[in-house]
Amino acid sequence: MKRWIAIVMSFLPLVASAAGFWDGNAALQRGDSSFESGLFAVSDSFAPDTVIEVENLDTGRRARVTVSQGAPSQASILVLLSPKAAEALGIAAGTVARVRVTLAARAPSELASLDQDRIQNP
């Protein structure tokens, strides 16, 4: 039985890393100074501290942003972007852009630190 668990667990990272994307709309969101000073987004579709890559489907420009908090559900908006993130994507204030959002891949160093944390805190 333990053998089957080990086999299933060995395939789990492959399934978890499968590329998925969400298409939707993005708009500029004003927030506090810490929100406006970096590449951030708010969304009710992604957990806080999730790093996502947002691609403006009209311009092809991309930016990696960190979800800082959830947002009130808005049927037509997938992510609300900080001014710097919107600027990086070429989204002007008062406009809505078509975007594709993917979960950003983690760097090997991030994965190693997560593994080390799991070993120390099982």
81-103: per-residue pLDDT in tens? Answer: 999 999 999 999 999 999 999 99
Whether 68 has a pLDDT exceeding 60, the answer reads yes
Tell me, what's the pLDDT at 14? 47
Question: Per-residue pLDDT averaged across 98-118, rounded?
Answer: 70
8-30: per-residue pLDDT in tens? Answer: 455 545 444 455 899 999 999 88
Burial class (CB in 10 A: 0-12, 13-18, 19+), 31: middle
28-67: per-residue pLDDT in tens? Answer: 988 888 888 899 999 988 999 999 999 999 999 999 999 9
Residue 76: band (very low, low, confident or very high) from pLDDT cuts 50, 70, 90? confident
Pairing label, strands 79-81, 40-42: antiparallel
CA angle 112, 117, 122 (to 5 degrees): 130
